[in-house]
């Protein structure tokens, strides 16, 4: 039984539907309001298109804002505001539970080419003081990686903290330069910490300690590290 | 004058005495007399001869028997030549003639009864049950002087000799059954089958060996380990009873026997001592009759009572016999034995590595010895392997049972496109060249295109045809040489993959429904030839093209679609994440995987069934990957699996 | 292993050559009834023999040519199963100086003499002519040897008052003229009574005669097998079997089926229980005394 291919869109779509049958229904949002320069990229498209109020965006869409711009999206149950110089995948605007977050974090390792060599993590004890939790590490930049991180921060700010961590982690991989910005790293590590994911947080903190840190930040990280170690020991 | 003689066929008397089924010795079993079912302990060849001295007044010695026996699996064949199994009687016929000078001349008779040779066969249905038969060839030579009147012109008496050879076969069936280690039973017929000649001369008709049909039953009992008690009883009322004792290499036996035609009631005894070496057994036995055998008998006793047995009768003499037997094992002693073999995998001939790395069968093997042994397992699949394929050596503790894995190599040359039910021979050997045991088991050998549905096994289809793919890929790329030459090095892989994909799809005209061909995967050349295939075939084809020129690929196995899986391809552009922007503005279209060296690299998903162009296939692949592998956490939940082709 | 097999091979061949004796035969001594067979009438056309015998066709062989005293109690059972009884006594003296020869010089007989008076149980024996018929060079001849002494009584007239008494004694007296008297008693055996049972078939080659008689002891009896010449109604004695007086004899088939039917029509089985005595003083002075019970049974040749 063969299906003849007609090299046209209609037939192609049919086959894709056939192949993708059973996929969870896509989350869609309606653009409530747009301010300034807001663009989107759909599916595998290479180009950015301006987003207008009233547009519907599916989860194969990435939205990016320019400086002094913002967009408000409304979904069935949720609402999401993306501030300036930020980018977010619509698919990330979703509530995840802790288990899903852990699965998503594990995927990084699973994705890697086989037989990953275990890296020894340093375990240097450093001391410092705690800083405020609300210190959002927004950097104003047109660099798309930073925009992605800002988007992730926005996700966290809108209550999608788990999703935010996933988005941030993906960004750190795809834009390796962003990994070297301590404020973002600490921000997302703190989310893990606050969620009680101490081991995952500890890995992050230990990694962060290798970065160039201000005394204040180093103290914060060291304090967190110690705290986690105590917690893990007492378990 | 004689009218008839009671001469009966053999009874169960043997020159080594009766030893039952003699668990420690094989020698007494060469006696077809007491072992009509041809029971044997031999593992391979056995040879025995009996040499004896007879005290008949003078000493005369001769070979009584030479036997040869061979065990082949459960079968045993024995042959016996018995030059000493004979008895000759010389006597006057009771007639005489008065010749002209009035002197009387007695007429004499010379009757010789011989057992010449015998053949035996037995089959062991199990360690407990043996069934067999023996055929024995007898010769009777009658030589007698007679006087005949001749009426001519004158009447006169002619003294002449008449002579006749009468041969016959007799055959008997027997069964041996071991109730347990200490108790064995034997039952057999006596004179069940009879065929051969009958005396044509009326003078001899009444002197033939009588073959009355009867039966015998034997019981061997070991009340305590080194002591055995045996009894054999014939329906003709003759019997033998014996006591055996074993001590390390030595054995002792004492048999007493009763024969209805011999006196006293217990006619005699057969004491014997034996020694068992590694390959030989030695028996020295005596036959001592309780009546005086050197006394001369009148012919009337012979004529009245006859004999019951050629080698054991009222006129047999005391003897001393030496029996030497050799148990020659050209087949090594079985140290291990198969209990069962379990086939755990059907054979997919293309999955060569599968059977080298993972066993396709497990043999349950028992160590029959009291020592640690190492076992060399090997196996061979009929129609696939020319010779045996060795599997790793295993050690088995004394009397322990082990599960031994069997691996197999499918030769590159195996090309059968037919699925067939074949069988595999499994061997275990401990020493020497001959296997201790073998076992045969049926198994399914699929065609070279067969696939078990495991995406990880698709890599075998990719690798198998790699030469074809390489030639094809190089040919295509050479056409785009100028284009490729202008590119920065880092983008070379991306563009090569793109060119190869676009060429690939341009050659295909259809895709088939994977549900129809799910168990069948085409090799790349077949896909080109058929101009189509299902997702497996296309992914195999594209992956093979990339791999053939050194581009790393992985198969993505989407297990989410109910029974029908979907497969597409990921390939490694070798670009760093920072270089991803060189090929796309869309960061959802690529994925980062860390290499073995710890380097993050950009991988692109390609939907091979998107037979449009590379960009579409890439975009479709990314879309599917994002949704199912990433958003739906397919990678983490195992619903989507990335299988690297290496 | 190969070495071992070779070794075994040579060893067995060696032993085979060494051990080429065979088990000793068993020889039996003869303690069973024995039957001696003897031809009586070599020339079955020669009536010399018939002449030499009494009416039963059976008497002593005179070829030994000793002087003879013979006493017989005779029964003859015919094919009608009727039995006649006879008694017979005779004495023959030869003159060894007067041989009678065949034309080729062989000794045929001597002339007989009657040198005195002979009495059996005080009954004087008659002197009768003693004539024999024989074939010489194909020519049948009669010759008179002389006279002999005879007493006879039987079915065809009790000529003499002589009766053979079984298991008893009969007195013998000889009055030599001129000369002295000699007297002694001759013992007589128990009466013999036989039966003949012809078994089997001529065609099958298993024609046998089972002969039975009243057995008496360990001495031997004689059974003479005779046959009646078809053409001349004369009974020729053919063979004599001397066997134990144990009551039974199976005549082997060949002794019966070899008798040519075209020449003989009846068989006569004669059972003879005999006491005999032989005395030889010198070449010209010998005496053979016999006393016998005879039972002849006539059967048709089957």
Given an 8 Å threshold on Cβ–Cβ distance, is A7 in contact with B612? yes
User: Looking at the predicted structure, is the pLDDT value of residue C56 above 70?
Assistant: no
Question: Which are the contacts of C183, defined by CB distance < 8 A and separation ≥ 6?
Answer: C171, C172, C173, C174
Burial of B295 (0-12, 13-18, 19+ CB in 10 A): exposed
Closest-CA distance, A166 to chain B, in angstroms, reads: 10
Closest-CA distance, B300 to chain C, in angstroms, reads: 5
Range of the domain at B630: 455-645
DSSP B40-73: ---SSEEEEEEEEEEESSSEEEEEEEEEEEEEET
Whether residue A12 is contained in a domain is answered as no
Dmax over CA atoms of chain C, in Å, equals 106
Closest-CA distance, A18 to chain B, in angstroms, reads: 9
Residue B367 sits in a domain whose CATH number is 2.60.40.10
Range of the domain at A209: 124-235
Last residue of a domain, one of B410, B445, B480: B445
One domain for residues A85 and A180: no
One domain for residues B147 and B203: yes
Given an 8 Å threshold on Cβ–Cβ distance, is A111 in contact with B513? no
Residue B598 sits in a domain whose CATH number is 3.10.620
**Residue predicted with more confidence, B370 or A8:** B370
Q: Mean pLDDT, to the nearest integer, of C198-218?
A: 80
Contact between residue B59 and residue B318 where contact means Cβ atoms under 8 Å apart: no
Q: Where are the alpha helices (DSSP H) in B381-534?
A: 458-464, 466-479, 481-485, 492-506, 524-530
User: Looking at the predicted structure, is the pLDDT value of residue C62 above 50?
Assistant: yes
Whether residue A57 is contained in a domain is answered as yes
Whether residue B20 is contained in a domain is answered as no
Question: Which are the contacts of C101, defined by CB distance < 8 A and separation ≥ 6?
Answer: C107, C108
Residues of chain B predicted below pLDDT 50: 1-4, 9-10
User: Looking at the predicted structure, is the pLDDT value of residue A117 above 80?
Assistant: no
Give the pLDDT of residue C55: 41
Give the pLDDT of residue A109: 78
Instruction: Mark whether A and C touch (3+ CB pairs within 8 Å).
Output: no
Whether residue A192 is contained in a domain is answered as yes
Whether residue B16 is contained in a domain is answered as no
Question: Which are the contacts of B50, defined by CB distance < 8 A and separation ≥ 6?
Answer: B15, B16, B63, B64, B65, B66, B84, B321, B322, B323
Dmax over CA atoms of chain A, in Å, equals 69
**Chain B partners within 8 Å of A62 (Cβ):** 586-588
**Gap between the Cα atoms of A22 and A16, Å rounded:** 12
Whether residue A115 is contained in a domain is answered as no
Give the pLDDT of residue C118: 93
Count of pairs with CB atoms under 8 A, one residue in A, one in B = 143
Taking only the tens place, the pLDDT of each residue in C243-301 is 888 888 888 777 887 888 788 888 889 898 988 888 876 666 788 888 989 898 988 87
Tokens for B568, please give them.
């597409």
Strands B280-289 and B86-98 come out as unpaired
> Shortest CB distance from A1 goes to which of B516, B561, B628?
B516
Whether residue B54 is contained in a domain is answered as yes
Whether residue B18 is contained in a domain is answered as no
Given an 8 Å threshold on Cβ–Cβ distance, is C24 in contact with B83? no
Given an 8 Å threshold on Cβ–Cβ distance, is A15 in contact with B511? yes
Query: How many structural domains does chain A have?
Result: 2
**Chain C partners within 8 Å of B90 (Cβ):** 25-28
Mean pLDDT of chain A: 78
Whether residue B144 is contained in a domain is answered as yes
Taking only the tens place, the pLDDT of each residue in B7-53 is 554 478 888 888 888 778 889 899 998 899 999 988 888 999 899 88
Give the pLDDT of residue B418: 85
Whether residue A146 is contained in a domain is answered as yes
Its ipTM equals 0.81
CA C228 to chain centroid: 16
One domain for residues B189 and B68: yes
Give the pLDDT of residue C42: 63
Strands C248-251 and B591-594 come out as unpaired
Give the pLDDT of residue A130: 37
One domain for residues B227 and B292: yes
Q: Mean pLDDT, to the nearest integer, of A174-192?
A: 91
Question: Which are the contacts of A13, defined by CB distance < 8 A and separation ≥ 6?
Answer: none
Whether residue B8 is contained in a domain is answered as no
- Has this prediction a pTM greater than 0.80? no
One domain for residues A128 and A235: yes
One domain for residues B433 and B516: no
Q: Using CA coordinates, name the residue in chain C closest to B300.
A: C32
Q: In 10 A of CB B56, how many CB atoms?
A: 18
The length of chain B in residues reads 646
Burial of A2 (0-12, 13-18, 19+ CB in 10 A): middle
> Shortest CB distance from A113 goes to which of B577, B590, B594?
B594
**Gap between the Cα atoms of B97 and B89, Å rounded:** 22
Give the pLDDT of residue A78: 79
Residue B96 sits in a domain whose CATH number is 2.40.160.40
Mean pLDDT of chain C: 79
Whether residue B184 is contained in a domain is answered as yes
One domain for residues A76 and A134: no
B588-607 residues touching A, CB cutoff 8 A: 588-596, 598, 600-601
Given an 8 Å threshold on Cβ–Cβ distance, is B561 in contact with A22? yes
**Residue predicted with more confidence, C123 or C37:** C123
A100: helix, coil or strand? helix
Given an 8 Å threshold on Cβ–Cβ distance, is B149 in contact with C239? yes
**Gap between the Cα atoms of A147 and A145, Å rounded:** 5
Residue A184 sits in a domain whose CATH number is 1.25.40.10
Residue C19 φ/ψ, nearest 5 degrees? -95, 45
One domain for residues A75 and A130: no
Whether residue A208 is contained in a domain is answered as yes
User: Looking at the predicted structure, is the pLDDT value of residue A11 above 60?
Assistant: no
One domain for residues A52 and A152: no
Last residue of a domain, one of B328, B352, B369: B328
One domain for residues A169 and A80: no
- Which chains have 3 or more CB–CB distances shorter than 8 Å to chain B? A, C
DSSP C261-291: TTTEEEEEEEEEEEEEEEEEEETTEEEEEEE
Angle of the A161-174 helix axis to the A98-111 helix axis, nearest 10: 10
One domain for residues B63 and B83: yes
CA B330 to chain centroid: 15
Whether residue A11 is contained in a domain is answered as no
Delimit the domains of chain C by residue range.
36-300
C203-262 residues touching B, CB cutoff 8 A: 205-206, 238-240, 242, 249-250, 252-255, 258-260
Give the pLDDT of residue B564: 65
Whether residue A116 is contained in a domain is answered as no
Query: How many structural domains does chain B have?
Result: 3
**Chain B partners within 8 Å of C10 (Cβ):** none
Whether residue B450 is contained in a domain is answered as no
Closest-CA distance, B80 to chain C, in angstroms, reads: 14
**Gap between the Cα atoms of B141 and B167, Å rounded:** 9
Tokens for B300, please give them.
């009337």
**Residue B194: C-alpha distances to residues B37, B191, C20, C46 (Å):** 16, 7, 30, 54
């Amino acid at each position: 039984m063969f299906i003849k291919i007609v090299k046209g869109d209609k037939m192609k779509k049919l086959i894709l539907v056939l192949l993708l049958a059973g996929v969870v229904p896509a989350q869609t949002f309606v653009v409530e309001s747009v301010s300034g320069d807001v663009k989107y990229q759909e599916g595998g498209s290479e180009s950015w298109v301006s987003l207008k109020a009233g547009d519907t965006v599916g989860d194969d869409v990435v939205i990016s804002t320019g400086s002094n711009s913002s967009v408000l999206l409304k979904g069935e149950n949720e609402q999401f505001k993306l501030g300036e110089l930020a980018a977010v995948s619509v698919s990330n605007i979703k509530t995840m539970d802790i288990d899903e977050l852990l699965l998503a974090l594990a995927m990084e390792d699973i994705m890697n080419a086989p037989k990953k060599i275990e890296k020894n993590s340093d375990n240097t004890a450093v001391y410092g003081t705690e800083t405020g939790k609300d210190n959002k590490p927004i950097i104003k930049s047109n660099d798309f990686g930073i925009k992605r991180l800002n988007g992730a921060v926005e996700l966290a700010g809108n209550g999608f903290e788990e999703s935010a961590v996933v988005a941030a982690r993906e960004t750190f991989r795809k834009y390796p330069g962003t990994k070297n910005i301590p404020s973002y790293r600490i921000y997302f590590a703190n989310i893990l910490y606050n969620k009680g994911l101490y081991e995952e947080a500890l890995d992050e903190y230990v990694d962060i300690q290798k970065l160039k840190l201000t005394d204040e930040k180093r103290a914060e990280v060291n304090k967190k590290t110690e705290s986690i170690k105590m917690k893990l020991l007492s378990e | 004058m004689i009218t008839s003689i009671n001469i009966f066929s053999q009874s169960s008397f043997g020159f080594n005495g009766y030893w039952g089924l003699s668990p420690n010795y094989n020698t007494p079993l060469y006696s077809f007399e007491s072992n009509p079912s041809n029971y044997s302990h031999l593992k391979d060849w056995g040879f025995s001869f009996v040499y004896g001295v007879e005290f008949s007044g003078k000493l005369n010695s001769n070979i009584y028997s030479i036997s040869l026996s061979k065990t082949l699996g459960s079968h045993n064949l024995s042959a016996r030549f018995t030059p000493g199994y004979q008895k000759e009687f010389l006597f006057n016929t009771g007639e005489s003639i008065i010749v002209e000078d009035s002197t009387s001349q007695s007429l004499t008779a010379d009757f010789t009864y011989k057992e010449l040779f015998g053949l035996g066969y037995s089959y062991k249905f199990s360690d407990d049950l043996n069934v067999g038969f023996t055929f024995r060839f007898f010769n009777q030579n009658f030589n007698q002087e007679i006087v005949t009147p001749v009426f001519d012109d004158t009447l006169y008496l002619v003294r002449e000799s008449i002579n006749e050879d009468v041969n016959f076969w007799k055959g008997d069936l027997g069964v041996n059954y071991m109730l347990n280690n200490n108790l064995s039973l034997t039952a057999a017929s006596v004179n069940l089958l009879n065929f051969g000649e009958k005396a044509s001369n009326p003078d001899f008709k009444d002197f033939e060996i009588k073959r009355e049909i009867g039966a015998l039953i034997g019981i061997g009992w070991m009340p305590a380990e080194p002591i055995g008690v045996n009894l054999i009883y014939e329906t003709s009322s003759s019997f033998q009873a014996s006591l055996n004792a074993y001590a390390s290499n030595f054995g002792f036996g004492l048999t007493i026997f009763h024969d209805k035609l011999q006196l006293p009631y217990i006619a005699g005894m057969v004491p014997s001592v034996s020694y068992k070496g590694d390959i030989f057994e030695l028996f020295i036995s005596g036959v001592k009759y309780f009546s005086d055998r050197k006394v001369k008998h009148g012919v009337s006793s012979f004529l009245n009572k006859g004999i019951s047995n050629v080698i054991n009768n009222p006129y047999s003499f005391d003897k001393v016999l030496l029996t030497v037997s050799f148990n020659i094992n050209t087949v090594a002693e079985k140290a291990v034995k198969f209990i069962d073999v379990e086939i755990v995998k059907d054979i997919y001939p293309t999955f060569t590595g599968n059977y080298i790395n993972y066993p396709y069968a497990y043999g349950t093997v028992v160590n029959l010895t009291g020592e640690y042994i190492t076992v060399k397992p090997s196996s061979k699949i009929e129609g696939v392997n020319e010779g045996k394929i060795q599997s790793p050596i295993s050690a088995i503790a004394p009397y322990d049972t082990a599960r031994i894995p069997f691996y197999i190599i499918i030769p590159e040359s195996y090309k059968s496109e037919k699925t067939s039910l074949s069988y595999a021979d499994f061997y275990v050997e401990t020493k020497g060249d001959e296997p201790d045991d073998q076992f045969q088991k049926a198994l399914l050998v699929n065609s070279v295109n067969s696939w078990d549905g495991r995406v990880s096994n698709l890599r075998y289809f990719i690798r198998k045809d790699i030469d074809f793919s390489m030639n094809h890929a190089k040919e295509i790329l050479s056409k785009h040489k100028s284009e490729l030459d202008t590119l920065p090095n880092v983008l070379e892989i991306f563009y090569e993959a793109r060119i190869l994909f676009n060429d690939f799809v341009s050659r295909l005209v259809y895709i088939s429904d994977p549900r129809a061909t799910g168990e069948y995967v085409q090799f790349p050349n077949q896909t080109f030839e058929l101009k189509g295939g299902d997702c497996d075939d296309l992914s195999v084809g594209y992956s093979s093209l990339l791999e053939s020129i050194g581009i790393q690929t992985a198969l993505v196995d989407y297990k989410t679609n109910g029974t029908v899986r979907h497969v597409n391809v990921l390939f490694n552009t070798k670009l760093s994440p920072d270089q991803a922007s060189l090929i796309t503005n869309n960061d959802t279209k690529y994925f980062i995987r860390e290499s073995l060296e710890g380097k993050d690299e950009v991988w692109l998903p390609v939907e091979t069934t998107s037979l449009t162009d590379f960009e579409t296939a890439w975009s479709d692949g990314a879309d599917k990957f994002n949704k199912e592998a990433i958003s739906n956490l397919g990678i983490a939940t195992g619903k989507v699996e990335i299988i690297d082709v290496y | 292993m190969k070495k071992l097999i070779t070794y075994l091979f040579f060893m067995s061949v060696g032993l085979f050559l060494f051990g080429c004796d065979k088990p000793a035969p068993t020889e039996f001594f003869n303690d069973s009834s024995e039957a001696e067979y003897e031809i009586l009438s070599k020339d079955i056309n020669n009536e010399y023999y018939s002449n030499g015998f009494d009416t039963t066709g059976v008497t002593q062989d005179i070829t030994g040519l000793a002087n003879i005293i013979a006493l017989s109690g005779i029964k003859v059972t015919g094919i009608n199963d009727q039995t006649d009884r006879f008694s017979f006594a005779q004495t023959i003296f030869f003159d060894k100086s007067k041989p009678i020869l065949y034309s080729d010089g062989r000794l045929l007989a001597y002339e007989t003499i009657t040198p005195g008076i002979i009495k059996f149980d005080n009954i004087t024996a008659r002197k009768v002519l003693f004539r024999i018929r024989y074939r010489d060079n194909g020519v049948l001849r009669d010759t008179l040897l002389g006279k002999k002494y005879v007493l006879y009584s039987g079915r065809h007239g009790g000529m003499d008052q002589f009766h053979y008494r079984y298991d008893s004694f009969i007195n013998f007296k000889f009055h030599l003229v001129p000369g002295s008297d000699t007297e002694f008693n001759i013992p007589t055996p128990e009466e013999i009574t036989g039966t003949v049972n012809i078994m089997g078939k001529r065609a099958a080659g298993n024609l046998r005669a089972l002969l039975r008689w009243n057995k008496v002891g360990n001495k031997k009896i004689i059974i003479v097998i005779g046959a009646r010449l078809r053409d001349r109604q004369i009974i020729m004695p053919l063979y004599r079997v001397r066997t134990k007086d144990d009551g039974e004899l199976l005549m082997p088939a060949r002794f019966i089926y070899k008798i040519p039917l075209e020449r003989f029509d009846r068989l006569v089985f004669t059972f003879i229980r005999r006491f005999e005595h032989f005395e030889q003083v010198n070449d010209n002075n010998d005496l053979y005394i016999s006393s016998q019970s005879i039972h002849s049974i006539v059967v048709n040749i089957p």
